[in-house]
Amino acid sequence: MTQGIFITFEGIDGSGKSTQARLLAERLQFSGRKVVLTREPGGSEGAEEIRQLLLTGDPNRWSAETELLLFNAARRDHLEKTIRPALAEGAVVISDRFADSTRVYQGATRGDLRGAVEQLHSIMIGQEPDLTFIIDMDPQIALERGLARSSGEDRFEDFGLGFQETLRHGFLTLAKAHPSRCLVVDGNRAVEAVAAEVAAQFEARQ
Ligand code: ADP
Ligand code: TYD
């Protein structure tokens, strides 16, 4: 049986993950691959409901610990209902965010929860991507891009620029810790230039 490929896009808010995930999905679909484009938090019916709890409302609505549990509940549902079935059918699954976002946002921003994050991940999720693109860019530019969308899901953007700088550092540290699956891509370029690099790096790994 063919086993699929699991690809994730990670990075700070507004760095271009959704745009790049969509462009890679379109490219692979065009070349005849079966592709499932999905996102976190969300990607399944139950997880999309949890998304609303997480991304709307007061920035201090949840503690980091409560958030960690909600993100894992959403991810477990996403894994059961969407990711694993698609991989089992041989699809390329492209997820806009996954567990690395929890490692960075919940693990190392408001106190040190890294131990709890890894324990919960290994007990409840236990799946790593085959390839992770970390779109790196200046938080000031990314924040302007992100807030310009005014999606109403801005709870994390509302923590401000200093928070985004901590996140950027967190993603770059994570990339160094997992060099075999993480690729840092400079997101501060035209959409097409970033997409060309993403496509080339994907092909180079096939
Ligand atoms: P993310 O998913 O990381 O939050 P998006 O892909 O939604 O980022 O992009 C955020 C905003 O920036 C969108 O309005 C998008 O059209 C725009 N954008 C994305 N990539 C670029 C780029 N390379 N240059 C300029 N604007 C971009
Ligand atoms: P999203 O729409 O992906 O954000 P953006 O397009 O701005 O990058 O919203 C997800 C938000 O939730 C984002 O601010 C990051 C945060 N998040 C976590 O804190 N932990 C997680 O595990 C995930 C998946 C997301």
Q: Ligand 1 pocket check: which of 20, 141, 145 to mutate, most ligand atoms within 8 Å of Cβ?
A: 145
Which atom of ligand 1 is nearest to 188's Cα?
23
pLDDT digits over 67-100, tens only? 999 999 999 999 999 999 999 999 999 999 999 9
Which atom of ligand 1 is nearest to 19's Cα?
6
Number of domains in the chain: 1
Whole-Å CA distances, 23 to 3, 126, 137, 199 = 22, 28, 18, 9
Which atom of ligand 1 is nearest to 187's Cα?
23
Residue 155's domain is classified under what CATH number? Answer: 3.40.50.300
pLDDT digits over 167-199, tens only? 999 999 999 999 999 999 999 999 999 999 999
Task: Considering only CA atoms, give the Rg of the chain.
Answer: 16
Domain residue limits at 18: 5-204
What lies within 8 Å, CB to CB, of 36 at 6+ separation is: 82, 83, 86, 91, 92, 93, 94
pTM for the model: 0.95
Q: How many CB atoms neighbour CB 161 within 10 A?
A: 12
Which ligand is closest in space to the CA of residue 98? 2
**Cα–Cα distance measured from residue 102 to residue 89, given in angstroms and rounded to the nearest whole number:** 27
Which ligand is closest in space to the CA of residue 18? 1
